[in-house]
Amino acid sequence: MPKTTLIVATDIDGTLTDKNRKISLRAVELLRELQKLGAVVILISSHAFPAVSTLADYLGIEFIVAETGVCGGRPWRPIYVKPIKAREEVVRMVVERGFIPTESNNFRLGDISLYPPKNMGIDEALELLRDILKCYDLDFTYSGFAIHVFPRGVNKGWGLKTLLKYIGVEGEILALGDGENDIPLFEVADLSITSIHSPEKLRSAADIVLPYNNISTTLYVLEFIEKLLRLRGGISLRDIKRILVS
């Protein structure tokens, strides 16, 4: 029976990093080992394509999806981009209502990244943004770090499936994430895992919730899979789920 390709799709901020946004070197080591063992590793983030490209380039990760699914490909070589139409017009409108473009906004290929207006809570800011964008075919999400605006229908899950189609890869998808913007990613995965400390909505969408903090959850899963691949040469996500929940 032919081996099924394992696709490891992981968020970055809060999943591969600690609470201070410092990346775990152990997580990097494990992702590299999984690639050597035949897994396809994909970094998936709401950050700008150049930022994710730089990280993946130095870490030796071959594929990325950035800007909440708006673009994806290899580091510095986008394979697909689905940008916001009239992007500058939208930016001008939200700035006039007090929203603040993030430092990376000018370097993004297709989405918009914003901070809430000063002295405004995130829930109020999201309601205001919903009113501003009501006549546009756009959607938005809060990553825990910034608000991201993108074409309706685009998200991390859509971006992952689009990238896989373009690069011709089929297999079982393992998804790791820590924020509500990872819910669409979990929805397209064969197995999704998060931490008990993740938001309630993400925990509800996950197949497995582990009783560790975010980075410890990531390390536990990656180490477990790496050991199984070395011992068996191939694994089924159904077996991993059965073992982890037993």
**Buried/exposed code over 236-246 (b: 16+ C-beta within 10 A; e: otherwise):** bbeebbeeeee
| Residue 3 pLDDT exceeds 70 | no
pLDDT tens per residue, range 144-202: 889 999 999 999 999 999 999 999 999 999 999 999 999 999 999 999 999 999 999 99
* Mean pLDDT estimate for the chain: 94
Separation CA 31–CA 60 (nearest Å): 9
Long-range contacts at 186-194 (CB < 8 A, ≥ 24 apart) = 186/157, 187/157, 188/157, 188/158, 188/160, 188/161, 189/9, 189/157, 190/237, 191/237, 191/240, 191/241, 193/217, 193/221, 193/244
pLDDT tens per residue, range 81-91: 999 999 999 99
pLDDT tens per residue, range 109-138: 999 999 999 999 999 999 999 999 999 999
pLDDT of residue 189: 98
pTM score, whole prediction = 0.94
pLDDT tens per residue, range 50-82: 999 999 999 999 999 999 999 999 999 999 999
- From the number of C-beta atoms within 10 Å of its C-beta (0-12, 13-18, 19+), residue 83 rates as middle
